[in-house]
Amino acid sequence: MRRTNTKERILEESLKLFSTFGYNAVGVEMIAAAVKVTPPSLYKHFKGKREILDTIIDQAEENYLNHSLPMINYSDEEYKNLTKEDFVKYIMDHVDNILHDEVIKCVRKLFILEQYRNEQIRLMHIDKTYNRAENIVRTLFDGLFKNKQHASAQKTTTEHMVNMFYLPIVEVINRCYCQPEYEKQGLDFVKTHSEVMWDAYFA
């Protein structure tokens, strides 16, 4: 979100405020003061705080999907030609995007802050942070199992793989958010985890 116009400044400052103080604690007056406009000027761009939040979450969703969708839309032939290096790079780029995209990072912090105070945001958190990511990983592994799986992995189900692969990565991401100095160690784990998974099931 670059500071190119008032609407974008409203989104940028709102995101900072929401992820620092929580959604419920931030009012329109606080946002307007941060942007250095009057509340009536703010209402020219957004109907209210909820529309600002929805717009921010839509932006985070777009940023997330831009890094998540290419491989899950592969054809069977593309999956057959996929290499270990391609797979590991895809996973590492995906995690790096979640950790460093400012919009995604702040929205996830907002979700964590508000999940126990705001039922709508709690449900949004479940959908965006867990259900959506699980569906992407499920689609990825469905394609890999169909086109790359070797005989020793025949009894493994996609659902088992989703949990076995995805949940440790979620833990790394969450720990990196609250302990930034852990990031190198965490990313080293994700790389090794991805390599081991590939070697075990798709090599």
Q: Which amino acid is at 160?
A: H
Q: 170: buried, middle or exposed (CB in 10 Å: 19+, 13-18, 0-12)?
A: middle
- The sign of the torsion formed by the CA atoms of 75, 98, 176, 24 equals negative
Provide mean pLDDT across the span 171-189: 95
According to the model, what pLDDT value does residue 147 have? 87
Q: How far apart, in whole angstroms, are the C-alpha atoms of residue 95 and residue 36?
A: 35
Residue 49's nearest CA partner among 35, 29, 67, 68 is 29
d(CA 183, CA 155): 34
Per-residue model confidence (pLDDT) at position 3:
45
**Domains in the chain, ordered, with CATH?**
6-201 (1.10.357.10)
Reported as a single tens digit per residue, the pLDDT across 6-41 is: 999 999 999 999 999 999 999 999 999 999 999 999
Question: Which of 26, 27, 29, 53 minimizes the C-alpha distance to 39?
Answer: 29
Mean pLDDT value across residues 69-91: 88
**Amino acid, res. 150:** H
CA distance 117 to 122: 8
Asked if pLDDT for residue 175 goes beyond 90, the answer is yes
As a whole number of angstroms, the distance between CA 170 and CA 111 comes to 14
pLDDT of residue 201: 86
Model pLDDT for residues 119-149, shown as the tens digit of each residue:
999 999 999 888 988 888 888 888 888 887 6
Token pair for 160: 């088992």
Q: Output the pLDDT for position 11.
A: 95
Q: What is the pLDDT of residues 54-71, one digit of tens each?
A: 999 999 988 888 776 677
Q: pTM here?
A: 0.83
